């Protein structure tokens, strides 16, 4: 009788081992994964995330993978085991500029990795100490009611200071972007609007005014 019990236990262990080996190691192979992106911005990382999700073998693995994406601001996951479905809703961070071809920044200056999805974002270059200066320049371009300047790039150098390239005009602020200089800029734009002629260069590096160039 004892011999039969020992044989039975050995046989049970072998059967259990075989059953364990045929359980799928890939959760996505058993479940249909649906992802909804709330943001309109499309990242290359979105495609890479979906490909990585196909390889995950557990719920926790899926959670960890999503949590490690620095471009994701918020998310929710719903598992429907009886329907074999996983619903993922993702809210992306919304980048407004790219710094030195390395990082995206959103309106709160949250930094996250640049994945080469430019999508006509503002390109910023330079050794910049205070990133708030970038937002200050962008916001002042957008605040102006007379002329809608579309910012293409912003460059900073120790020699020239701040240069803002728009779709029509190069605007040179120099190293000092004080309140007085910004006021002079808006006064200059109003003057340009009244004269109905857009210059190719607006040079704000003067104490009490600006120099306008209409050449190419």
Beta-bridge partners for 98:
104, 123
Q: Which range scores top for mean pLDDT: 8-17, 34-43, 62-71, 113-122? A: 62-71
Q: pLDDT value at position 33? A: 84
Using a pLDDT cut of 70, give the percent of the chain over it. Answer: 85
| Residue 116: how many other CB atoms lie within 10 Å | 9
Domain 126-213 classification at class level: alpha beta
Q: Alpha-carbon distance 102 to 115, whole Å?
A: 8
pLDDT surpassing 70 at residue 32: yes
DSSP 31: S
pTM of the model: 0.78
Interval 1-29: pLDDT, tens = 544 344 344 433 333 333 333 334 456 56
Confidence (pLDDT) at 153: 96
Strand ranges, E, within the chain: 32-37, 72-80, 85-92, 97-99, 103-105, 111-113, 122-125, 151-157, 161-166, 170-174, 201-203, 211-213
Considering the chain, tell me which residue range(s) the CATH 3.40.50.11690 domain(s) occupy: 126-213
In DSSP terms, 87 is beta-bridged to: 34, 78
- Based on the number of CB atoms within 10 Å of its own CB, is 136 exposed (0-12), middle (13-18) or buried (19 or more)? middle
Residue 17's pLDDT is: 31
Would the CA dihedral through 180, 184, 190, 194 be positive or negative? positive
> Using one digit for the tens of pLDDT, what is the confidence trace for 98-150?
999 999 999 999 999 998 876 789 999 999 999 999 999 999 988 777 777 88
Question: Is the pLDDT at 161 greater than 60, yes or no?
Answer: yes
Residue 9's pLDDT is 43
């Amino acid at each position: 009788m004892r011999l039969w019990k020992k044989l039975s236990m050995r046989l049970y262990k072998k059967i259990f081992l075989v059953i364990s080996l045929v359980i799928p190691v890939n959760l996505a192979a058993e479940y249909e994964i649906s992802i909804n992106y709330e943001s309109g911005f499309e990242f290359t990382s979105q495609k890479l995330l979906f490909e990585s999700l196909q390889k995950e073998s557990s719920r926790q693995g899926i959670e960890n993978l999503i949590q490690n994406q620095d471009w994701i601001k918020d998310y929710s996951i719903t598992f429907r085991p009886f329907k074999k479905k996983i619903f993922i809703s993702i809210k992306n961070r919304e980048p407004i500029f790219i710094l030195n071809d390395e990082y995206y920044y959103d309106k709160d200056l949250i930094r996250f990795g640049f994945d080469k999805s430019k999508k006509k974002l503002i390109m910023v270059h330079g050794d910049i100490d205070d990133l708030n200066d970038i937002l200050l320049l962008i916001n002042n371009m957008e605040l102006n009611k007379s002329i809608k300047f579309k910012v293409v790039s912003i460059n900073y150098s120790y020699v020239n200071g701040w240069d803002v390239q728009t779709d029509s005009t190069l605007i040179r602020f120099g190293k000092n972007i004080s309140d007085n200089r910004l006021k002079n800029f808006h006064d200059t734009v109003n003057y340009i609007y009244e004269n109905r002629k857009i210059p190719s260069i607006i040079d704000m590096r003067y104490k009490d005014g600006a120099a306008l160039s209409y050449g190419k």
